[in-house]
Amino acid sequence: MRLRLGLSSCSFRGGLAWRGATFLFLLVAAGVFVFYHTRFGRMIEGRVSGQPFNNISCIFAAPKRIFLGQNLLLQELVDHLRQAGYTESPRSGETGQFLVTNFSIEIRPSVDSYFGGSNALWVGFSGPRISGIRSLDTGEELSSAELEPILLTNLFNDDSREKQRPVHFNDLPVVLVAAVLSAEDNRFFEHHGVDPVRVLGAAWINLRRRAKAQGASTITMQTARSFFFSTKRTWRRKLEETLMALELERRFTKQQIFELYANQIYLGNRGSFAIHGFGEAAHAYFDKDVRDLSLGEAAFLAGIIRSPNRYSSSNCTPERAAEARDRVLATMVGRQAISPEAARAATEAPLRCGENVPESTAAPYFVDMVREQLLNRYSESELLSKRYRIYTTLDAELERAAAEAIEVKMKNVDALLARREERWRERGQPVPEAQVALVALDPRSGAMKALVGGRNYGQSQLNRALAWRQPGSVFKPFVYAAAFSNAVDGLAPIVIPTTTVVDEPTTFWSKGKPYSPNNYRSEFHGTVTLREALVESMNVATVKLAELVGYERVAQVARQLGLGPNVQPTPLAAMGVYEMTPLDVAAAYTIFANGGARAEPLLIDRVVSPEGKVFEQDMPRVRQVLDRRVAYVVTSLLEDVVNRGTGVGVRRQGFTGAAAGKTGTSGDAWFAGFTPDLLCVVWIGFDDDRDLELTGAASAVPIWTEFMERASSLRQYQSTEVFSPPEGIKVAAIDPRTLQLATPYCPITLKEVFLVGTEPTQFCGQHTNQMMVQVPVAWWVSSHYVHYPDFCDPRTCEFGTR
């Protein structure tokens, strides 16, 4: 009996202990569950609730302005809207979409756009012109309107340097969703965050191959990892990832989870930036809106999810790209997501994989400058947490034109440098890559339309447009401006374009030190006019002009024009040895292009608050710093530089529009030139200050011309304007030999520009009626200085040009 009681007592105690352990385990488990539930709930609330991607400030290109009578094709407007993220809707009334009907288009901006609300528009076309603009909300007829610009990028911080282009689930094309599901999680819409079938299948494959050949992470688990955890492989991280996936499934719909995943997934690098999300990846790899991806392109993006760095822009060869695409296409066929015929067609289609996608699509050097300006006004946390929309002055089409012009013409520069590179290698010296900067401004407002700060932003984020370099001969026009200003300021000596100096070897003295400049190729030209001296970029003649008017006067006018404190009153100033940045040069040249008014470079147009109100707007800063007449006289000389001087390559390459500019050759190569609508400065050189040993004419002029040719193909830059003289300018016909007013007996005449009151007053007395050949006298503006021998019939004799 005792034994039986003892056994019963032990059994009771054992059952009690088991129940206690079970209770304790359940209590601990419940505590762990409550802890993680509370912790993960707070993490979700803080990270992905609401609009996790819409709180990032975004930088846009310049708004697109349309107006009545504008030369614009309907298809061009459609292309712009697609690039700006609009979709074509089969029915009217939806926001962020457009509808094309016959010869008109309805545009309904998205509700969160600054250009939304009452700016829903109807635009009518008559052939290649806009014939009508009307508000769809008020019915009001409009003369002009602004349209949503192209998104350049979201703002980023220095630590992450991430780029995202947020998209909604409904924006994702069906082929992309199908490709991702086939490649990553075919049962995504069936499981609840963790897929037991996938786990068992992966375990069996890994066991059979005796290696981790396949993972079991679902899209929900990958989303949890991307937002909340590191990629470090530990059992604790895997457990937390699983629990977070279950919590995400409880709180969000499948479409919402897929949208989070589609915007956060890491997809490689573009230069120094990490690409996150399919929206940014579509632009980085294919220069497309995500909605326009083809089946092959969608399969490629799905195929790089597991090893994105293998396919980043610098590593993505056509063979690698095809391998990633074809692998996913085969999986899609096996899972009956697409037909074998569709897969075959996608396999045969070419796949660019970023090789031809211009870096300009994101204007990285420009964006860095905008970001720096913004950080002077707002804190980084404010920019990264508030949904500011920053509209800039950048013309996306011109930015592309700049990048393409550089890509095409820098190959010629590389070819010219090839022999020198061989010598460097033979000597064991490092072989640097020639770098380039291009700045394009609207000369009237200073609005920056395009900016390229180097050949490859991924390799170097150094913005050469802001690098201090010797401008060389591009500074010479300011010496001439200082000289011609004497007439306006009542100072002696009065200098005009026909004033002569002797171009010959000369030693100049400044502060007790000698200076003996040389001309290009040691060529000297004797007595020349100032026009000829600038057109042919004669160094000695220009220094003589600076000496004539006074080095202090040159430095004084340079400061007056806003060229900075670097310019010193020495002979060296005339040679452009005092450093400036390409952006400084561009701002300075607005003085000539804008009738003597300096326009400061302008990057930001306006900052719009999350509520859609203009929070801050930058206005053009333009001030008159030089007499309009003096600016025109210098511009006239610079036109001749392009028409027949050191910049004649502009004409030889086929650019026929009105243009003026100046080459520069220091240790670097320059060309600063402008049309009535657009100003552009090109710089080429080495980062280590090594002498380029190429002239601006041979290296910078071709890039400038290529850019301007591409710009002039855009409708907004197809201007027929010319440089018109202001009031107070006298155009007089002169004899090129005597430089006096021409008479009907002079065998050839030239038209020269003067400030009223400075023109010659004496007529040429060298030619008489007896000396004239019996041919009609030509009174015309020559683009050449033509020298006829005396008593020579110009219809038959040969003549030379300079």
Q: What are the phi and psi torsion angles at 156 (to 5°)?
A: -140, 165
Q: What percentage of residues in the chain have a pLDDT greater than 90?
A: 49
Residue linked to tokens 């998205």? 110
What is residue 787's predicted lDDT score, i.e. its pLDDT? 33
**Angstrom distance (rounded) from CA 716 to CA 395:** 11
Cα distances from 613 to residues 114, 121, 336, 706, in angstroms, run 7, 20, 49, 40
| 782: confidence class by pLDDT, cuts 50, 70, 90 | very low
CA atoms within 13 A on the CB side of 71: 7
Q: What are the phi and psi torsion angles at 586 (to 5°)?
A: -60, -45
> Any residues with CB less than 8 A from the CB of 759 and at least 6 apart, and which?
496, 730, 732, 741
What is residue 777's predicted lDDT score, i.e. its pLDDT? 34
| Tokens describing residue 401 | 């034109």
| Tokens describing residue 377 | 């006004």
Please state whether the peptide bond connecting residue 493 to the residue before it is cis, i.e. omega within 30 degrees of 0.
yes
- 3 state DSSP class of 289: coil
| 283: confidence class by pLDDT, cuts 50, 70, 90 | confident
Nearest residue to 246 via CA among 215, 229, 216, 221: 221
Q: Most confidently modeled of 93-107, 384-398, 548-562?
A: 548-562
| Tokens describing residue 280 | 């940014």
DSSP state of 716: G
Q: What share of the chain is helix, strand, coil (3-state, %, to 5)?
A: 45, 20, 40
Q: Most confidently modeled of 593-597, 616-620, 782-786?
A: 593-597
Cα 606 to the center of its chain, rounded Å: 18
Query: To 10 degrees, the CA torsion angle through 37, 43, 45, 46?
Result: 160
> Any residues with CB less than 8 A from the CB of 762 and at least 6 apart, and which?
740, 741
What is residue 360's predicted lDDT score, i.e. its pLDDT? 55
The beta strand positions in 218-299, using DSSP E, are: 266-270, 273-276
Length of the chain: 802
Name the helix (H) or strand (E) containing 325.
helix 318-334
What is residue 309's predicted lDDT score, i.e. its pLDDT? 82
The answer to whether the Cα torsion of 599, 603, 609, 612 is positive or negative is positive
**Angstrom distance (rounded) from CA 324 to CA 487:** 71
pLDDT of 699 higher than 90: yes
What is residue 313's predicted lDDT score, i.e. its pLDDT? 60
Query: To 10 degrees, the CA torsion angle through 792, 794, 800, 802?
Result: 110
What is residue 718's predicted lDDT score, i.e. its pLDDT? 81
**Angstrom distance (rounded) from CA 270 to CA 312:** 7
**Angstrom distance (rounded) from CA 58 to CA 386:** 10
Strands 162-164 and 273-276: parallel
> Are 576 and 473 a contacting pair, CB within 8 Å?
yes
What is residue 792's predicted lDDT score, i.e. its pLDDT? 31
Residue linked to tokens 């404010």? 382
> Are 605 and 458 a contacting pair, CB within 8 Å?
no
pLDDT of 201 higher than 70: no
- 3 state DSSP class of 134: strand
Q: What confidence tens digit (pLDDT) does each residue in 12-24 have? A: 455 666 666 666 6
The beta strand positions in 466-613, using DSSP E, are: 500-503, 508-510, 513-515, 526-529, 597-599, 604-608
Angle, vertex CA 314, rays to CA 313 and CA 318, nearest 5: 70
> Any residues with CB less than 8 A from the CB of 109 and at least 6 apart, and which?
95, 96, 115, 116, 117, 119, 120, 147, 148
| Tokens describing residue 18 | 């088991």
pLDDT of 54 higher than 70: no
DSSP state of 715: G
Burial 49-74 (b: 16+ CB within 10 A, else e): eeebbeebbbbbbbbbebebebebeb
Q: Most confidently modeled of 86-95, 155-164, 507-516?
A: 507-516
317-331, 359-373, 392-406, 575-589: range with lowest mean pLDDT? 359-373
Q: What value does the mean pLDDT of the chain take?
A: 83
- 3 state DSSP class of 281: helix
Q: Most confidently modeled of 16-20, 114-118, 762-766, 790-794?
A: 762-766
**Angstrom distance (rounded) from CA 367 to CA 57:** 13
What is residue 458's predicted lDDT score, i.e. its pLDDT? 79
